[in-house]
Amino acid sequence: MITVENVSKSFASADSRVVALRDVNLAVSAGSLFGIVGPARAGKTTLARCVALRERPDRGTVRYDGMDTGRLVGRKLWGAQRQVAVVDSGLRPERTVAGNIAAPLERMGVAPDRRRNRVGTLLDVIGLSRAGARLPSELTPGQQRRVAIARALATAPSVLLADDPTDGVAGEETAAVLSVLDRARAELGATVVVTSRDADIARRVCDEVALLDRGKVVESGALLSLVGKPGSPIAEALLPSVDTPRAHLSSYDRAVDVVLVGFAAVGALLPEAAARFEVDFTTIGGGLTRLGDTPVARFRLGVAGQRIDAALAWIAERGAYVSTPMYGLRDVAA
């Protein structure tokens, strides 16, 4: 577990100081794929570099499993930094794909047969098993980025930092890059920290996320729990919109917003509640998406029937998040 406690960081600029991080707190679970998202200059890179021990905070503490990394110096600091690999996109053009991935292992003096095995495993993880002998210039930008990630993973770091991993990668290639990060976490056991301006990256691969704005954490936590929080800016950005004109609500006894997480909930909960409590659910807005592999639905529903409260309590007991839209029927009637 990595914890960031009250971290602030500023930089000197031409005539003043730029505050990059203000009193940031967050927790990155071991083995998670953690997304730091937010607009330009929000402080994402600075925060990621503090987490990766590449930048020292002005104030506050970054802990690795409880250990205050700010107290580390010399060999101990270097040892901790070595546990964290930062993806560097610049490949050596004269070396083959396999040679690029093997370079950190060569520097560490790893024996040739062990090197070959490790490179073979990593080529498989990045889906380029047959490209080991090619030169970087023969690859697409997305493939090159996958090689850069493999090189960062070569020495089996416990934490991998990918700063804006899909920058410069064509849309159709982003899925393959993100899938490598996902495999680094799932198969190699690394804790992966990614930054991006594109919150959609969080929807596609992250388990945990922090939304930064102007150096502050707006919201952070496990994605699947944030999506059920009414008013969550992350849920707002990632779930299907439920915006509907007020007038659409007036023909129902009640309007509710419902978030359903997981195959069972998305597929069966509403029809079962409708049958059991003899209520009608009509979808007024929203839809279905996926968070990683998990289907998640957010619907604005018009509900009609005698036993609405019992039906809504029943689906809430089964894990659905039920909330009342900002405007309800009473507003419409008023």
Ligand X SMILES: Nc1ncnc2c1ncn2[C@@H]1O[C@H](COP(=O)(O)OP(=O)(O)OP(=O)(O)O)[C@@H](O)[C@H]1O
Could you say which of 2, 4, 7, 20 contacts ligand X (CB under 6 A)?
A: 20
Burial of 103 (C-beta count, 10 Å sphere; 0-12/13-18/19+): middle
Q: Note whether 165 binds ligand X by CB under 6 A.
A: no
Name the amino acid, one letter, at 28. V
Residue 128 engages ligand X in binding (rule: CB under 6 A): no
Cα 12 to Cα 9, 40, 43, 61, 62, distances in angstroms: 10, 18, 15, 21, 22
| Contact window for ligand X (CB under 6 A) among 38-46, 137-145, 277-285, 291-299 | 38-46
Q: Toward ligand X, which CB reaches closer, 197 or 248? A: 197
**Minimal distance, residue 69 CB to ligand X, in Å:** 19
| Closest to 34 (Cα-Cα) out of 168, 147, 196 | 196
* Bridge-based pairing state of the strands 216-222 and 208-213: antiparallel
Q: What is the DSSP letter of 31?
A: T
Among 26, 42, 194, 311, binds ligand X (CB under 6 A): 42
- Judged by CB, which is closer to ligand X: 118, or 145? 145
* By CB under 6 A, residue 89 contacts ligand X: no
Q: Does 52 bind ligand X (CB under 6 A)?
A: no
Burial of 136 (0-12, 13-18, 19+ CB in 10 A): buried
Q: Which one of 2, 4, 44, 145 is in contact with ligand X (CB under 6 A)? A: 44
Stretch that binds ligand X, among 33-41, 170-178, 233-241, 252-260 (CB under 6 A): 33-41
Q: Which is nearer to ligand X, 18 or 188 (CB)?
A: 18
CB atoms under 10 Å from CB of 138, counted, come to 12
Outline where 26-111 has alpha helix (H): 44-51, 74-82, 97-108
Residues 126, 188: contact at Cβ < 8 Å?
A: no
Residue type, 10: S
Residue 326 CB, shortest distance to ligand X, in Å, is 30
Contact flag: residue 14 with ligand X (CB under 6 A): no
Q: Give the residue with the Cβ less far from ligand X, 35 or 286.
A: 35
Q: Is 174 in the site for ligand X (CB under 6 A)?
A: no
Q: Does 153 bind ligand X (CB under 6 A)?
A: no
Rounded Cα gap, residues 3 and 68, in angstroms: 9
Q: How many residues bind ligand X (CB under 6 A)?
A: 14
Dihedral of alpha carbons 59, 9, 152, 166, sign: positive
Contact pick of 3, 5, 8, 18 for ligand X (by CB under 6 A): 18
Please report whether residue 40 would count as binding ligand X according to CB under 6 A. Answer: yes
Q: What is the Cα–Cα distance from 324 to 286, expressed in whole angstroms?
A: 14
The span of 39-47, 126-134, 141-149, 272-280 binding ligand X (CB under 6 A) equals: 39-47
Nearer to ligand X, 32 or 195 (CB): 195
Residues at the site binding ligand X, with contacts judged by CB under 6 A: 11, 13, 18, 20, 38, 40-46, 195, 197
